[in-house]
Amino acid sequence: MMRLRWDGPAVRCAVVAAAFAAGGPYPALAEEKAVPPAVPPGVTLVEVVRELQASAAQLLWTRLGDEEGRTLLFAEDGHTGGAGCVDGCAAEFPPLPAPAGAEPFADWSPLRRGDGRLQWAYQSRPLHTWSREEEPGEVATNVGLAETANLKLAERPEAAGALMPPPGWRVARFEPARSITMPDGIDAGLVSSAQAVVLTDFAGFTLYAFDGDAAFDGQTCSDTGCGMRWLPVPAPALALDVGGFRVVSRVDGSRQWAWRGRPLYRYRGDLLPGDAHGRAADARWRLAALSESFRPPRVAVTALEGYGDALSLDGITLYSGSAFQKYWGGRNLRGSFKNAYRRGKRLGGDACADEECLRRWRPFRVSGEARSTGFWEVVARRDGTRQWAYKGYALYTYADDEAPGQNRGQATYTFAKLEGGPDDLERAAWLAELGETYGGAGVYWNVAKP
């Protein structure tokens, strides 16, 4: 019989989440202030959405995927003894491999299988792919469609006979808040503009911690200039310390939440939940981050006037292309142009593939041996090179953007040729099918939003 064991002390699984809440067990962290990664290399994050007929797709939840974006599953307690897939079922449910020498960090721990190989477990649950899944993510998508079956004006309802997890198996969702004890009124989640999992308040606003002079920190930002920009996170009169959170007193007698010894604040310049403008407002302040999302070197989140936050490469705006599709509503507001992951995966690096297109659109090529990690995936192009994709969609820079902050490629169109040869007609038909619209075919270019 094949058995699983912890690659280290037997109690490692039980203490890893608690240790992270108290300061983080990630062994490579030399300083207390360092933040662990959200996922190991080779593990992806994928947004599960439901496409709607009259508005942008609705984000349902975020799941875990393997390097190709395939749905990751775990066995419910009791189904296989709580130990994941053992014995002969590993052929149908291949374990998610961990590299030799892998160490536990945050919510992640390596398991030693009976054959000597290591396997990743997330929040103590061994992870597996499913050999029956043909299109990356279809199982997770079907689960999301089934959960929202009564949603009005929804497209792609769950089809009869759609592939669903077998009894005893569940889709592995990315739920970082499950492993940290928090007081009422404080939550944690992915904030895309921060490229991190951060603490948020009850309304979903990003929280920050002061990282400057300790004496100033102890007085919790009491000067006028600071108070105009940073809003303390209040603690109720009867609140008690919980987990890594404690209550500190301010000079005016009020009470405030502190995390890991640092008082927590909102930034007044964050106007909507999901904003993270305070990340660059003052070097003394930092995000109250539980973990950081992976992003390739030289990539940053920058603010584009009129378009909000966008991804950039050395300051130059990044774009993604998508097949023409029926779409209602504005495309420029944050979250208003969220396409389904499956469409981007099918398009791959073919949004721009011919010589004429490549004169305008330059693929964001992968260097070295980089691997798909988090929301970033590596896709293969026809010429054998590799290209970065974000949330399923391959990324490009635009030839006419000559300086940081320019976005001249925004809201431009590349129409499929209908008067060309067989290859052109085949591409037009393929794009029309991919976009599920037949009023035209081509690629729409949009700034890549985090």
Quote the CA–CA distance of 400 and 382 in Å, as a whole number. 24
pLDDT for 33 equals: 53
Better-scored residue on pLDDT, 122 or 21: 122
pLDDT for 12 equals: 33
Look at 4-18, 239-253, 307-321 and tell me which has the smallest mean pLDDT: 4-18
pLDDT for 376 equals: 98
pLDDT over 60 at 5, yes or no: no
Cβ neighbours of 315 (radius 10 Å): 13
Domain parsing of the chain, residue ranges: 5-175, 181-292, 299-447
Q: How far is CA 258 from CA 186, 229, 233, in A?
A: 11, 18, 8
pLDDT for 85 equals: 62
Mean pLDDT, rounded, for 376-392: 96
pLDDT for 280 equals: 79
Q: What confidence tens digit (pLDDT) does each residue in 148-193 have?
A: 887 665 566 666 678 999 999 999 999 999 999 999 999 999 999 9
| Helix (H) / strand (E) containing 304 | strand 299-304
Average pLDDT, the chain: 84
pLDDT for 212 equals: 56
pLDDT for 440 equals: 79
Predicted confidence band of residue 214 (pLDDT cuts 50, 70, 90): very low
pLDDT over 50 at 101, yes or no: yes
Model pTM? 0.87
Sign (positive or negative) of CA dihedral 351, 357, 361, 362 = positive
pLDDT over 90 at 225, yes or no: no
pLDDT over 70 at 28, yes or no: no
Look at 33-42, 114-123, 158-167 and tell me which has the smallest mean pLDDT: 158-167
Look at 42-51, 75-84, 114-123, 265-274 and tell me which has the smallest mean pLDDT: 75-84
Amino acid occupying residue 48: V
pLDDT over 60 at 32, yes or no: no
Quote the CA–CA distance of 324 and 338 in Å, as a whole number. 13
pLDDT for 283 equals: 78
Quote the CA–CA distance of 374 and 372 in Å, as a whole number. 7
Rg of the chain on CA atoms, in Å: 23
Cβ neighbours of 365 (radius 10 Å): 11
pLDDT for 220 equals: 53
Q: Who's near 101: CB < 8 A, 6+ residues apart?
A: none
pLDDT for 22 equals: 33
Better-scored residue on pLDDT, 218 or 325: 325
pLDDT over 80 at 50, yes or no: yes
pLDDT for 419 equals: 81
Q: What confidence tens digit (pLDDT) does each residue in 264-316 have?
A: 999 999 998 999 999 878 777 899 999 999 999 999 999 888 788 999 999 99
Q: What percentage of the chain exceeds 70 in pLDDT?
A: 81
- Output phi, psi for 95, to 5 deg: -70, 150
pLDDT for 11 equals: 29
Q: How far is CA 69 from CA 110, 335, 364, 390, 402, in A?
A: 20, 22, 19, 12, 34
- CB-CB contact of 153 with 145 (8 Å): no
pLDDT for 226 equals: 67
Better-scored residue on pLDDT, 384 or 307: 384
pLDDT for 285 equals: 86
pLDDT for 182 equals: 94
Q: What confidence tens digit (pLDDT) does each residue in 394-450 have?
A: 999 999 999 999 999 998 999 988 887 888 889 999 999 988 877 779 999 999 998
pLDDT over 80 at 219, yes or no: no
Q: What angle do CA 53, 344, 62 make, to 5 degrees?
A: 75
